[in-house]
């Protein structure tokens, strides 16, 4: 695996909004990921990611490179709202 710089973190705020993984790269680009086991959780996870993205000061941090829900199984696709749904098996090197 190649190290590309950046850092991983978790987000939770006083409104109890939580995001499982925030990726911040050295060039200031960023992305947010929710990890969910069941397909029934995808809609709520996507809504959560979109709510989080609206809280970010994009004038300072820019728009997210992507928002994604990682699932245990199923097909990968892009939802109408722009959130990616990625089965974990697609993330291997």
Residue 1 lies in a domain: no
Residue 2 lies in a domain: no
Residue 56 lies in a domain: yes
pLDDT band at 1 (very low <50, low <70, confident <90, very high): very low
Task: Identify the CATH number of the domain in which residue 16 sits.
Answer: 3.40.1350
- Give the integer Cα–Cα distance in Å for 6 and 29: 9
Residue 32 lies in a domain: yes
Residue 77 lies in a domain: yes
| Domain ranges, residue 13 | 7-91
Scanning the structure block, which residue is given the tokens 């749904």? 85
- Give the integer Cα–Cα distance in Å for 7 and 85: 22
| Structural domain count of the chain | 1
What would the pLDDT profile of 15-62 be if each residue is shown by its tens digit?
999 999 999 999 889 999 999 998 899 999 999 999 999 999 988 889
């Amino acid at each position: 695996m190649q190290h590309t710089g950046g850092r991983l973190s978790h987000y939770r705020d006083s409104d109890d909004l939580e995001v499982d993984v925030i990726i911040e790269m050295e060039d200031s680009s960023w992305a947010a990921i929710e990890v969910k086991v069941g397909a029934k959780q995808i809609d709520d996870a996507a809504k959560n990611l979109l709510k989080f993205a609206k809280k970010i000061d994009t004038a300072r941090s820019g728009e997210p490179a992507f928002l994604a829900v990682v699932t245990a199984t199923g097909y990968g696709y892009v939802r109408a709202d722009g959130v990616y749904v990625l089965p974990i098996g697609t993330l291997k090197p």
